Structure 1
Amino acid sequence: MRKFGVFTSFIFISILLAGIYGILHNQITYSISPEYFTKFKYRQFGFKPEWFGGHWQTVAAIGFLATWWTGLFIGISLGLPALFFPDHKRMVTALKKAIRLVLMITVATGAAGFIYGKFYLAKNGVDWWLPENLSGISSFIIAGSIHNFSYLGGLLGLLISIVYMIRSMFQSKAKQNRSTPTGAKFFY
């Protein structure tokens, strides 16, 4: 029963962390290209800044709404294999390490998206849809690159973390088997 509690709590925590990541991520990308939001994301989400009290709040709302579902997906995808750990303590330890791994890979991949966007895409152009009348085309492209790379990083982090979870599970079971002497009998 404790493991199921850990599983459901982890899903909630993953949703919350993904939402917070989205909020912070959008604050950074808004500072790079306000037009990415005012000429693209606002329309995509059907939002107006006055609904939320201004641009920064609207960008935060979009960040949460754009990422909470990835937290649900990540939480379930990591939580299910974690149920196979021998006990809830090992499950919690493995899940903490796995979610940190996802976050680190996502942040690193987003940073790679910034570098790729700034030094390659902004100079060579893109075949994406670009809104008309952009005053900062390069900035728009950089923000878009960061967004695309971050989703890729979340997926990459999830896959690597699933491999980590499965590997940890087998190591944990092997360690548990080594600690019980072969042929040992317990009398009660």
Structure 2
Amino acid sequence: MNWIVPRIRNVRKILPYLLYGAMLAGLYGMIHDQISFTISPEYFTDFKFQQFRYADFHLPERLFVGIIGFLATWWVGFFSGWFLGRIRFFSDDLQTAHRDMLQGFVIIVCCAVGAGMLGGVVGYLNFYVFDTQEFMGFEKQFSGTTLKRFAIVGTIHNFGYAGGLAGFIVAVILLKRKMKQCNANA
């Protein structure tokens, strides 16, 4: 329970990192979706725009894509900040806290970017080498190159989330190990 509900004095220390994490993840999502939109506008116009229709303020498509990117990812940074903060601020040592938290965020972002790039390669190989003609039922709506680009972007998105999760796990393990060493040396 201590991982979820912190001591009151630690909440003030963690709150800025919730904001940092949410903003960093949201910015990542905005950039990520702009690149994805360039590869397959149909992924957004025929899928994501319907999924996020509550956020459609009839802005130009590229702005709506940015909003979708932010809304789809901010929460990852928020929760990452919460759990990394819970580990980091379990003790009262604040000397290296800022650096440790930012290092955790960098690990998560790097893993998400790397996995997204890998997803692009896997999506490309899956549809250009093996010429698979099915992707989540959208093969009825699209054909040929449009379906392939749609599937590549879908694969990039899925791999990106998996990479973010993997990065979070790595960041937690490294931070817990560091905190254990700090406590042992104290």
TM-score range, shorter chain: 0.7 to 0.9
1:86-145 Cα offsets, whole Å, 9 max, x none, are 411222221111111111111000001000001124532445131644250100000000
Q: Could you tell me how far apart the structure 2 residues matched to 1:117 and 1:42 are?
A: 22
Alignment CA distance shift 1:86-1:47 (3 Å): closer
User: Equivalent residue of 2:25, what SS?
Assistant: helix
Deviation at 1:174, TM superposition (A): 2.5
1:167 aligns with 2:177: yes
Note the residue ranges of structure 1 that are not aligned, 5 or more in a row.
Answer: 178-188
User: Equivalent residue of 2:136, what SS?
Assistant: coil
Q: Tell me the equivalent position of 1:35.
A: 42
Q: Could you tell me how far apart the structure 1 residues matched to 2:184 and 2:100 are?
A: 15
Q: State the number of aligned residues.
A: 175
Q: Tell me the equivalent position of 2:147.
A: 137
Deviation at 1:3, TM superposition (A): 5.2
Q: Could you tell me how far apart the structure 1 residues matched to 2:30 and 2:139 are?
A: 23
Contact persistence 1:49–1:57 (CA under 8 A):
no
Q: How does 1:4-19 map to 2 (within 5 A)?
A: 4-19=11-26
Counterpart of 1:109, as a letter, is A
Q: Could you tell me how far apart the structure 1 residues matched to 2:54 and 2:42 are?
A: 14
Selected match of 2:126 from 111, 117, 120: 120
Q: Could you tell me how far apart the structure 1 residues matched to 2:12 and 2:55 are?
A: 39
Selected match of 1:66 from 54, 69, 72: 72
Counterpart of 1:69, as a letter, is W
Q: Could you tell me how far apart the structure 2 residues matched to 1:34 and 1:94 are?
A: 38
Selected match of 2:82 from 76, 84, 89: 76
Note the residue ranges of structure 2 that are not aligned, 5 or more in a row.
Answer: 1-7
Q: Could you tell me how far apart the structure 2 residues matched to 1:161 and 1:39 are?
A: 35
When Rg is computed on C-alpha atoms for both structures, the one with the higher figure is 1
Q: Tell me the equivalent position of 1:180.
A: none
1:53-94 Cα offsets, whole Å, 9 max, x none, are x11101001101111111122111211111124411222221
Output the TM-score relative to the length of structure 1. Answer: 0.85
Contact persistence 1:94–1:168 (CA under 8 A):
no
Contact persistence 1:15–1:72 (CA under 8 A):
yes
What is the aligned-residue identity percentage? 33
Counterpart of 1:173, as a letter, is N
